[in-house]
Amino acid sequence: MTPTKLRIGIVCYPNFGGSGIVATEIGLGLAQRGHEVHLITTELPVRARQSTLPIHFHRVEVQDYPLFEFPPYTLALASRLAEIAQQTQLDILHLHYAIPHAVSGYLARQILQGKGPRIIVTLHGTDVTRVGCLDSYRSVTRMALLASDGITAPSHYLRKVSYPLLDLPDELPIEVISNFVDTQRFHPAAQRSRARLDTLFPKTPDLHGTPILAHLSNFRPIKRIPDVIDIFARVNNALPARLLLIGEGPERRAAAERIQELGLQDQVCFLGKREDVVQYLQHCDLMLMPSETESFGLAALESMSCGVPVIASDVGGLHELIEHQTSGFLAPVYDTETMAKFAIQLLQDPQGLEQMMRAARKRALDFGDQDAIFDQYERFYQQTLTQTPSSYPCQTCEENAHHRTQEPTRHDPATHSLSAPPSSAAN
């Protein structure tokens, strides 16, 4: 696909979370295709630090002041977005994770008096299921989404639950565009070797034939780190094993204490935040993902792309990705006993494990082809640019949600009415 080259602004959190990783990879992919991409964040995102692509980085500075208990990031971002949009004449402003980026985009549009770029919001999961649906945030999140020109979600699950959780009108379109992974970067090792991981377990260095389990996340409560440890302990009781914990977050300390209580400290390695996760995943046998909920499961897709099957909770969008008993296993959330049984069953069947590893890789290749995803985003951007921009002024104007599914319309703030634009109107 070779559409008109666009000027695209991408806003995200620059950390190791899935929303920031996906947003950055979209930016890198679109820059590779010749689009002018501007990353707008508080610091250069992790996945962009090693790139040689011509991506423009704009830092958002949040000023502290003794009066503020918390620095007003939402306002600082809104001002920065309006400034960058004017300077660079952005066509598209793509906001990842609705809280508070969708609101900042809405405020930037008001600053620009509706003359700025088209605004697209990508929902990622907890911005809907954990934060956006809270009474403290629902109305403002809903307002900002209705004011956007397009909304996407990475799974059918997240699209479905967004309507009731955020009280969105049924007529509001939410486009499902899957998350993806660079399958050329995330690939199985040419020669899997336990010896490459010896140094991670100095007190038990001989890993020949010892299964390696892994968990990759930001260690938030929703990731169920205690369940990861419980599954591993059950597996280790049945056959000697090792566990790699990749990531960092609020559950890290409690996890270390629990591992110490169980006497598993020599068999567990905390890798912390890593940009080079591929070289570790490639030599693991299984990925454990007993999350309480997952809108998609990017870590699962990355593992599968490396040929590592995933044992996960049957929640959220995970069942859209993992084929139970083919490319991985799914079990009821909190059911660590069943997840451990699946792991033991597979680890004791080398032929079955090898077959599932191949199936996991094939699923990743079929599911998350990044070129196809970039095609989808380009089409969605072009579609958004051909319709009348949203000018949603308040929550009483419910009709504004209809303009995305009907003929392009123009909003009259004075009457809250919609009418067809003049045929000569430029988009």
Please state the domain extents for the chain.
Answer: 7-180+371-419, 194-367
Mean pLDDT for the stretch of residues 407-411 = 37
Q: Any idea of the CA torsion for 47, 48, 51, 56, to the nearest 10 degrees?
A: 160
Tell which CATH classification among 3.40.47.10, 3.40.50.2000, 3.40.640.10, 3.20.20.70 matches the domain 194-367. Answer: 3.40.50.2000
pLDDT above 80: residue 209 = no
Locus of tokens 């959190």: 13
pLDDT tens-digit readout, 295-341: 999 999 999 999 999 999 999 999 999 999 999 999 999 999 999 99
300 has which bridge partners?
A: none
> Which structure tokens are listed for 59?
């830092």
C-alpha to C-alpha distance for 251 and 3, rounded to whole angstroms: 45
Nearby residues of 164 by Cβ (< 8 Å), 6 or more positions away = none
Q: Comparing 7-180+371-419 with 194-367, is the CATH topology the same?
A: yes
Give the dihedral of Cα atoms 116, 118, 119, 120; nearest 10 deg: -160
Instruction: With cut-offs at 50, 70 and 90, classify the pLDDT of residue 86.
Output: very high
User: What's the predicted TM-score (pTM) here?
Assistant: 0.85
| pLDDT higher than 70, residue 412 | no
The strand pairing partners of 344, in sequence order, are: none
- Give the C-alpha separation, 45 to 394, whole Å: 34
Closest CA to 298 of 126, 426, 138, 418: 126
Question: What does the pLDDT look like over 17-66, one tens digit per residue?
Answer: 788 889 999 999 999 999 999 999 999 887 788 788 889 999 999 988 88
pLDDT band per the 50, 70, 90 thresholds, residue 3:
low
Instruction: Look up residue 418 and give its two tokens.
Output: 């919609």
Q: Which long-range contacts (CB under 8 A, 24 or more apart) does 52-59 make?
A: 53/28, 55/27, 55/28, 55/31, 56/88, 58/84
Question: 7-180+371-419, what's its fold?
Answer: Rossmann fold (3.40.50)
Q: Give the chain's largest Cα–Cα span.
A: 75
Range of weakest confidence among 45-54, 167-176, 261-270: 45-54
Can you read off the two tokens belonging to residue 61?
Answer: 């500075």
Q: Please, is 79 exposed, middle or buried when counting C-beta atoms within 10 Å of its C-beta (0-12, 13-18, 19+)?
A: middle
Q: Which amino acid is at 212?
A: I
CA nearest neighbour of 158 among 51, 333, 317, 365: 317
Place of tokens 């949009």: 85
Confidence at residue 207, expressed as pLDDT on a 0 to 100 scale = 60
Whole-angstrom distance, CA of residue 388 vs CA of residue 79: 24
The structure tokens 């809907």 sit at 128
| Paired strand residues for 310 | 287, 328
Which of the residue ranges 96-105, 160-169, 392-401 would you say has the lowest mean pLDDT? 392-401
